[in-house]
Amino acid sequence: FPSKNTANQRLKLLHQHGFLARRRLPVEYGQGSGQALYLLGGRGAGLVAAQLGVDVTEIGWRRTHNHVSSPFLEHTLMVNDVRLAVEAAASQQGYQIEIWLREEELKVAPDRVWVETQARQRRRIAIVPDAYFRLSTVGRRACFFLEADRATETQGRWAQKIRAYLAYVHSGAYLRRYGSRSLRILTVTTGEKRVMNLLRTTAKICQPREQGLFWFTSLEHVAQDTVLDAPIWRVVGMEGLIHLIPHREAPRFAQSSPLLTTHPFGMEPQVLQQPNIQLRNAS
């Protein structure tokens, strides 16, 4: 579209004719109207199905999908914002996104690990990040889990999640499922204060050789020009802000994470196999 106004006008017309449904995110009293969100409507679902030559029941659309809670929508939008930034950055900077798996796909048959809770009880936890994606450049690949944090979890729940990720990696289940020794767990959250709180909680749990696994930034810093090649990330065990992928002009900047791989920044020359999203529960 030539302008944002033109795009908004087209969305309004599609809504008026039943191709799109519209909702607004809630705002505090006196703050005006919330952001308009457009979702696939009944006529739109029928059109998509017709274009694909399938029945509407086969495209995974249900009218109830448009009535999910606002926190769920806000979380979904956060994940989408990160994905759009990564995709635009990869296209602009010559990286390839080999695969992107959404939370819904990862939930199909999740791996599970045993974790000790704060009450010293053992609990079996499913490993379901908000996304898994893999980047490649110049014959090298890097794999990532994405966590979009809306600051709704307590520090205790966050600590349990970190313990689960560490147990998952140490058990060998990650390597079996994804066929790669490369991994960085990226957390994008709501602001710098939350970044520092999560960083401190994570640092208390990690052993020195585990620290480089966890990376943090706030959503305000995530953009096409920053998400991959700018120092916006804070890493457990490292000082200052770090690039997710080191500049091509400064290859020595890369540091290794001994937990999973000896390759710089979790990048490895090759991936052993495609992710097996149907793998049954890990022990």
User: What does the pLDDT look like over 44-81, one tens digit per residue?
Assistant: 999 999 999 999 989 888 888 787 777 888 899 999 99
- pLDDT tens string 87-108: 999 999 888 999 999 999 999 9
d(CA 145, CA 108): 16
Q: Which residues contact 243 (CB under 8 A, 6 or more apart)?
A: 228, 229, 230, 231, 233, 253
Above pLDDT 70, what percent of the chain?
Answer: 84
How distant, in Å, are the alpha carbons of 33, 65, 275 from that of 24? 8, 15, 37
Residue-wise pLDDT for 154-183, tens only, equals 999 999 999 999 999 999 999 999 998 899
User: pLDDT at position 249, please?
Assistant: 39
Greatest C-alpha distance within the chain: 59
Question: pLDDT at position 30, please?
Answer: 58
C-alpha 157/C-alpha 162 separation (Å) is 9
What residue spans define the domains of the chain? Answer: 4-67, 71-268
**Two structure tokens written together for 272:** 């052993």
DSSP 34: P
The H-assigned helical ranges of the chain are 4-16, 42-52, 70-93, 103-106, 155-171, 173-178, 192-205
The reported pLDDT for the residue numbered 29 is 58
pLDDT score for 25: 76
Q: Which bin fits 22, alpha (ψ -120 to 50), beta or left (φ > 0)? A: beta
How far is 52 from 215, CA to CA, in rounded Å? 40
Q: Are 232 and 103 in contact (CB under 8 A)?
A: no
By mean pLDDT, which of 13-17, 54-58, 67-71, 213-217 is the weakest?
67-71
Residue 261 parent element (H or E): strand 261-264
Residue 260 in this model has a pLDDT that exceeds 80: no
